Chain A
Amino acid sequence: MSFGFPELAAIRLGYGLSPLMPPPADVGAVLASVDTAGPGPEAVSTDDAREMSLRLREMGEASKTAGEAAAEEYRAFGRMLSRMMLTDLQRRIARAVDDPVGFGERLVQFWSDHFTTRPLGAAVQPLGLAFVDEAIRPHVNGRFEDMFFAADTHPMMLVYLNQNESRGPNSTFAKKRKAKGFGLNENLAREALELHSMGVGAPYAQKDVRELAELLTGLTYSREQGFAYRPQMAEPGAETVLGKSYGGGKRDGLEAIRAALTDIARRPETAQYVARKLAVHFVSDDPPEDLVQAMTAVWRDSQGDLPQVYRVLVTHPALADTLRQKVRQPYDLLVAGFRALGVSGAQIAGLEHPLNARMTFDPMNGMGQPWGRQAGPDGWPEEAEAWIAPQQLAARINWSLSMPRRMLEQLPDPRELMQASLGGTQSAALAWAVPKAESAAEGVALILASSDFNRR
């Protein structure tokens, strides 16, 4: 059995092989594909999200007086909004299944998880989609500092990490409403340093967190007014973050925030921390140090120009040396499974409620990845052990047995499926076992449940 760069790239950087399309021919094809990961035709904007939220409220008010039809319309709209994360999951899986290379979609997932947000409640669901379409997708092939600023000032992030409720204690807004006790909330400032840029081991102090939190006051979002910087809510005066002073002038609110976030993005600790995280996600839970250093160096020299950092990852020998050191997260496993069986994106997109949930959200939930319900702002875990506890592996095996029969009228020959989906990377043990399965269904399940297929 032999395989080359195309198979390696499809398995490690994309969502695996598909009988419907060839794997990427070379490094150039992998890198060029990232440009296709921009916002799609279904993209949701903050304005769309705002309008939907306002409409929900209007319908809610109308439903109190305008009779049963209006009440039913309100309930139906609320249900539609509550299911938006689910339909978005369905659409994202469909897009990834059809993506010839998949590296761009994998990166969208990586960065959306690096900047984890979690919309709570029906009215906020569309904003969660807008976050990915506005803050992540446009910058996936750009500069990290632009994504950092877009993500940490996006309305969804302001809501998720409580920035929207943070007020300068000495702002005119808070002073006029002393009885209400408006004050500072440090949540976003802390995660911006700890999770989004420099990493928790970096040399920043509580004072830096506090002053960054003060600098961030004034960033607001409301469904009535949308995103706005409100100087009257901002803490007056300059703030010192990591030894450098920002703001203090009358009109430089948002620009001072951009300047501070840009400086943080360009720090060497950020290069080291985020480059390492990329290597951990794509290569190994314990990535080779020379790969991490090479990515960090290019990150530093290019001031976080992501395409150049990706090039190091794609061309480094570690990509081949560490094959199968990563366990596919449940989302990746589902996409890889659909691709391996030749299921098309259109088939996935055509699943009606509640079958769409049964084929996407439910199995992922059993495998430990309840979509949109990350435990905290640090997102999904990376370590293999976090995904292969007995009950999680049981869910993977059960899915391997049930999914193919639900998605296909006729199952493929397991021996052909093994070659088509693993492209010569299969282990001797799997090659031995598959032909011995009692039925096609069990042969297919063996492949999808194998550690060859569940690792990348």
Chain B
Amino acid sequence: MPNLNLNRRFFLKSAALIGCSAAAHPLMSSMTFAALPGDNRLVVIILRGAMDGLDAIQPYGDPMLRKLRSKLSLGPQNGAADLDGFYALHPQLLPLLPLWQKGELAFAHAVSTPYRDKRSHFDGQDLLEAGTGDDLPVDRRIGGWLNRLLQAIPGSTAETAYSVGVEQMKILSGAAAHLSWAPSASLRMSPQAQLLLEHVYHDDPLFRDAARDAAQIGAETPMMDKTQGPAADARALGAFAASRLNDQSRIAAFSIAGWDTHASQEAVLGRALDRLAAAILALRDGLGPNWERTTVMAMTEFGRTVRENGSAGTDHGTGGALLMAGGAIRGGRAYGDWPGLGEGQLYAGRDLMPTRDVRAYAAWAMRGLFGTGRDVLEQTIFPGLDLGDDPGILA
């Protein structure tokens, strides 16, 4: 019979995972493990579909906004919460307002990845998760930036980072091992069947490693409360991530979809913001005292057109917004330079002009949380990025 011709990516993953099972890992004793790799936590939420930053965080103080939008982003007069006299928080994000008041919520407006002009969700997300520049060919943008961060953190193990949810998170893919789990899964196998299955999977690293992780994580995971309601899934993602971060993990990533608001944006965006707020609050509630050492960054592939389209929605744009939360941040304030919405201030005459690379905020967060060196950030984790000045997002 033909040989099993293993895909080279299997080798990459398996090589990284060898020796990382809990039983075999030399550092896997609770005493040594707790000291590594520090106590700070980073959660990255990928908002898939391109969040309309101008609606989530409404710059109602810019008089041009009302000229460009007549149905959306109407500011405090339509229920949004005024934040600082210029920006207002979308009504559906009001559950997060107490965080803003406590200095645990912030945002940076007019940010983007280096991705320009084609405005494809999939390429935009790939680039956001790869963390590379836009100058590499698509197939060279491999591996995610959180994975390269893991490789730069001394003493990190597979347990250090968690990909949460059923969806694949490219931001964590790469040579450093990490774990993944969905809050809902659990394995129902007899010990004998499990042993035989281990034998059957032995020569197929993809299946072997996934089965081993499934058995291990399932055994360690307490039963979650069955939360109901439209935001239940997002709440479960946040709660599960918190449970891992309270244990040995320091980095978690998950995604929330539903931001592609080409039509009926008011209703569609409202539901997506509900989920985002639910996930952030579940993280805060679940993390308890560890919330103080946590930074949450919710980022999206690009922003949306500054003008409404013909169907009460918005189309793919460029500059967007980054949402930050957590007890570790210096919140209650807006970061970044506002580019304006006037004639000549827009990108390509249609989009919010990006004034800073979203990767710079992520880089400064990692520098503060994990002590990652400037050269590693600029050359390895975000190759080609100019870190620029410290925006001071951490408390």
A389 near B310: Cβ-Cβ < 8 Å: no
B91-99, B198-206, B352-360, B370-378: which lies at the A interface? B198-206
Chain A residue at smallest Cβ distance from B138:
A201
* Of the residues A284, A375, A442, A452, contact of B193 by C-beta under 8 Å: A442
Query: How close is B199's CB to chain A, nearest CB, in angstroms?
Result: 5
A109 CB within 8 Å of chain B: no
A390 CB within 8 Å of chain B: yes
Cβ contacts under 8 Å, A375 to chain B: 48, 167, 257
B310 near A181: Cβ-Cβ < 8 Å: yes
Query: How close is B69's CB to chain A, nearest CB, in angstroms?
Result: 10
Cβ contacts under 8 Å, B138 to chain A: 200-201
- Mark interface residues in B130-169 (1 if CB within 8 Å of A CB, else 0): 0000000110000000000000000000000001001110
B311 near A451: Cβ-Cβ < 8 Å: no
Q: State the CA gap A401–B186 with chains docked (Å).
A: 13
- Mark interface residues in B1-17 (1 if CB within 8 Å of A CB, else 0): 11011011110010000
Cβ contacts under 8 Å, A324 to chain B: 4
Cβ contacts under 8 Å, A442 to chain B: 190, 192-193, 196
A410 CB within 8 Å of chain B: no
* Of the residues B7, B117, B188, B214, contact of A390 by C-beta under 8 Å: B214
- Mark interface residues in B296-312 (1 if CB within 8 Å of A CB, else 0): 00000000000011110
Cβ contacts under 8 Å, A455 to chain B: 204
A449 CB within 8 Å of chain B: yes
A344 CB within 8 Å of chain B: no
Most-contacted residue by chain B among A174, A390, A432 (CB, 10 A)? A390
Q: State the CA gap A438–B190 with chains docked (Å).
A: 10
**Contact A390 to B123, CB < 8 A, known contacts A165-B310, A385-B9, A429-B202:** no
B121 near A167: Cβ-Cβ < 8 Å: no
A183 near B119: Cβ-Cβ < 8 Å: no
**Contact A454 to B5, CB < 8 A, known contacts A390-B214, A391-B185, A446-B196:** no
Cβ contacts under 8 Å, A284 to chain B: 7
B189 CB within 8 Å of chain A: yes
Query: How close is A291's CB to chain B, nearest CB, in angstroms?
Result: 13
* Of the residues B8, B119, B123, B166, contact of A392 by C-beta under 8 Å: B166
Cβ contacts under 8 Å, A432 to chain B: 199
A186 CB within 8 Å of chain B: yes
Interface size class of B (residues with CB under 8 A): 35 or more
* Of the residues A185, A285, A327, A429, contact of B310 by C-beta under 8 Å: A185
Q: State the CA gap A378–B348 with chains docked (Å).
A: 26
Most-contacted residue by chain B among A182, A320, A375, A438 (CB, 10 A)? A375
* Of the residues A162, A183, A378, A433, contact of B196 by C-beta under 8 Å: A433
**Contact A446 to B197, CB < 8 A, known contacts A325-B7, A375-B167:** yes
Query: How close is A113's CB to chain B, nearest CB, in angstroms?
Result: 14
A391 near B184: Cβ-Cβ < 8 Å: yes
Query: How close is A11's CB to chain B, nearest CB, in angstroms?
Result: 12
A388 CB within 8 Å of chain B: yes
Query: How close is B27's CB to chain A, nearest CB, in angstroms?
Result: 22
Chain A residue at smallest Cβ distance from B196:
A433
Which B residues from 353 to 369 make CB contacts under 8 A with A?
none
A294 CB within 8 Å of chain B: no
Query: How close is B62's CB to chain A, nearest CB, in angstroms?
Result: 20
* Of the residues B163, B173, B211, B257, contact of A397 by C-beta under 8 Å: B211
B217 near A433: Cβ-Cβ < 8 Å: no
Cβ contacts under 8 Å, B120 to chain A: 190, 194, 200
Which A residues from 400 to 453 make CB contacts under 8 A with B?
401, 424-425, 427, 429-430, 432-433, 436-438, 442, 445-446, 449-452
**Contact A401 to B202, CB < 8 A, known contacts A324-B4, A446-B196:** no
B311 near A321: Cβ-Cβ < 8 Å: no
* Of the residues A321, A385, A391, A425, contact of B206 by C-beta under 8 Å: A385
Query: How close is B182's CB to chain A, nearest CB, in angstroms?
Result: 4
B263 CB within 8 Å of chain A: yes
A70 CB within 8 Å of chain B: no
Query: How close is A456's CB to chain B, nearest CB, in angstroms?
Result: 12
B315 CB within 8 Å of chain A: yes
Most-contacted residue by chain A among B122, B214, B262 (CB, 10 A)? B214
Cβ contacts under 8 Å, A392 to chain B: 166, 182, 185, 210
**Contact A366 to B185, CB < 8 A, known contacts A376-B260, A389-B168:** yes
B207 CB within 8 Å of chain A: yes
Q: State the CA gap A392–B211 with chains docked (Å).
A: 10
A323 CB within 8 Å of chain B: yes
* Of the residues B173, B200, B214, contact of A393 by C-beta under 8 Å: B214
**Contact A320 to B5, CB < 8 A, known contacts A185-B262, A392-B166, A451-B204:** no
Q: State the CA gap A347–B193 with chains docked (Å).
A: 29
Most-contacted residue by chain A among B70, B181, B262 (CB, 10 A)? B262
* Of the residues B1, B122, B189, B203, contact of A429 by C-beta under 8 Å: B203
* Of the residues B7, B189, B200, contact of A433 by C-beta under 8 Å: B200
**Contact A438 to B192, CB < 8 A, known contacts A433-B199, A446-B197:** yes
Query: How close is A380's CB to chain B, nearest CB, in angstroms?
Result: 11
A356 CB within 8 Å of chain B: no
**Contact A427 to B203, CB < 8 A, known contacts A378-B122, A384-B7, A437-B196:** yes
B213 CB within 8 Å of chain A: yes
A366 near B180: Cβ-Cβ < 8 Å: no
A240 CB within 8 Å of chain B: no
Cβ contacts under 8 Å, A182 to chain B: 310
B207 near A388: Cβ-Cβ < 8 Å: yes
B210 near A388: Cβ-Cβ < 8 Å: yes
A162 near B263: Cβ-Cβ < 8 Å: yes
Extra A-B contacts (16), CB below 8 Å, given A384-B206, A429-B203:
A3-B1, A165-B313, A183-B309, A185-B310, A201-B138, A205-B117, A321-B2, A389-B181, A390-B181, A393-B207, A393-B214, A394-B218, A442-B192, A451-B200, A451-B204, A451-B207
What are 19 sample pairs from A and B whose C-beta atoms fall under 8 A apart?
A1-B1, A166-B311, A180-B310, A185-B262, A185-B313, A187-B262, A200-B138, A284-B7, A321-B2, A323-B2, A368-B167, A385-B206, A390-B210, A393-B207, A427-B203, A430-B200, A438-B190, A438-B193, A449-B200
